[in-house]
Structure 1
Amino acid sequence: MTSKLLDEVRGFEKGCFFDLGHPLLNRVAESFVKAAGIGAIQSVSREAYFTAIEGSELDSSGVPPELPTSTDSKKRHRFPDLRGETNRKSLEALVKSTGKESLQWGLAAGMYSGLTYGLREARGAYDWKNSAVAGAITGMALALTIDDVSHKQIVQCAITGAAISTAANLLSGIF
């Protein structure tokens, strides 16, 4: 049983899930699907953690000790409709938040992968410049998924995306 699972995980990196007729499309689709799955798992596990913490660390007022008792407690909880209940509203909020986060992760991975591929093909080289441009554009796109985004946030996300992507590219030869 374990060897089958390990074979599937190893094949995950080698195999091609899609054949959409062009390497760029294949790369974008595969990156999107893989990252969207990771985003969904991350979202659900984070919410399970917060639900477990809220259930195990309630004080006499019914509020977890790390959360303030004022109306600010709603701001600290990422998904205010989720309260560990088994009702329909809670399930709908979980599905909505998981879908949004999956889409964000998939968007980032697919866009970055497609941009680096396209830049490599257009320039004939794969270097830190491609990574910087792809990271900046991907960072800007992710900033646009934030509610009430400002110009300052878009610029910060572009700079952060470019810096992380460039650092990863430069460090990939070292490690």
Structure 2
Amino acid sequence: MPRSSFSGALSSPKMDLTVDVGNPFLNLTINGFLRIGTVAAAKVVAEETYHVVKRGSFSHHNFENSLKKMCKEGAYWGTVAGVYVGMEYGVERIRGTKDWKNAMIGGALTGALVSAASNNNKDKIVMDAIAGGAVATAAEFINYLT
């Protein structure tokens, strides 16, 4: 009986962009901004492509709106990521250790700062700080598993 086999490996494409401005804090913050900002912009591209296909038409006005939305989402999520990465690094430097607690504290500080910048009330700021700390801690634990 004839036999055949297939051997190979699949891997995701990797793009390693690193910005070096001479300061580790700024390097991490800028890289966080660029990476997550790009992901947010790509998310908008996927959503807008779906809407174009669903509508069956595309116009100059739709293109402009999509571009504005890409920039807005990319800048917002990139800023949040940059603040988080900077906070986590700062906490690591202050505490002198690298562990999950840095992610928790950095996430809580980022959640509180972003919420306060949005002019939320005290209860909302506290809730956003708790959510930021919880999400960052969960992400850190998931990273330890892989």
TM range (shorter): 0.7 to 0.9
C-alpha separation in 1, matches of 2:50 and 2:113: 29
Match of 1:163 in 2: 134
Of Structure 1 and Structure 2, which has the larger fraction of its residues in helix? 2
| Mapped pair 1:86 → 2:87 | no
Q: How many residue pairs align between the two structures? A: 135
Which residue of 1 is the match for residue 111 of structure 2? 139
1:91 deviates by: 2.6
* Aligned counterparts of 2:42 and 2:18: Cα–Cα separation in 1: 20
For residue 92 of structure 1, report the CA deviation from its aligned partner: 2.5
Residue identity in the other structure for 1:130: N
Alpha-carbon distance between aligned partners in 2 of 1:111 and 1:171, rounded to the nearest angstrom: 21
State the 1:33 CA deviation.
0.9
Question: Would the aligned equivalents of 1:138 and 1:158 in 2 still touch at CA under 8 Å?
Answer: yes
State the superposition RMSD in angstroms: 2.6
8 Å CA contact retained: 1:32, 1:107: yes
Counterpart among 113, 120, 124 of residue 150 in structure 1: 120
Alignment CA distance shift 1:168-1:155 (3 Å): same
Tell me which residue corresponds to 1:35.
36
CA deviation profile, 1:135-161 (whole Å, cap 9, x unmatched) = 112223444676xx6325433322211
* TM-score, normalising length: structure 1: 0.65
Q: Secondary structure at 2:14's aligned position in 1?
A: helix
Conservation of the 8 A alpha-carbon contact between 1:104 and 1:145 = no
Shift in alpha-carbon separation, 1:44–1:10, aligned structure 2, 3 A: closer
Instruction: For residue 42 of structure 1, report the CA deviation from its aligned partner.
Output: 0.5
Out of 68, 86, 108, the residue aligned to residue 96 of structure 1 is 68
**Partner SS for 1:10:** coil
What is the deviation of 1:165?
A: 0.8
Contact 1:27 1:113 in 2 (8 A): yes
Kept in 1, the 8 Å contact 2:111–2:132? The answer is yes
TM-score where L is the length of structure 2: 0.76
Question: Offset at 1:11?
Answer: 5.2
Gap runs ≥5 in structure 1:
1-5, 57-83
Match of 1:45?
46
8 Å contact 1:135–1:165 — kept in the other structure? yes
2:8 counterpart residue number: none
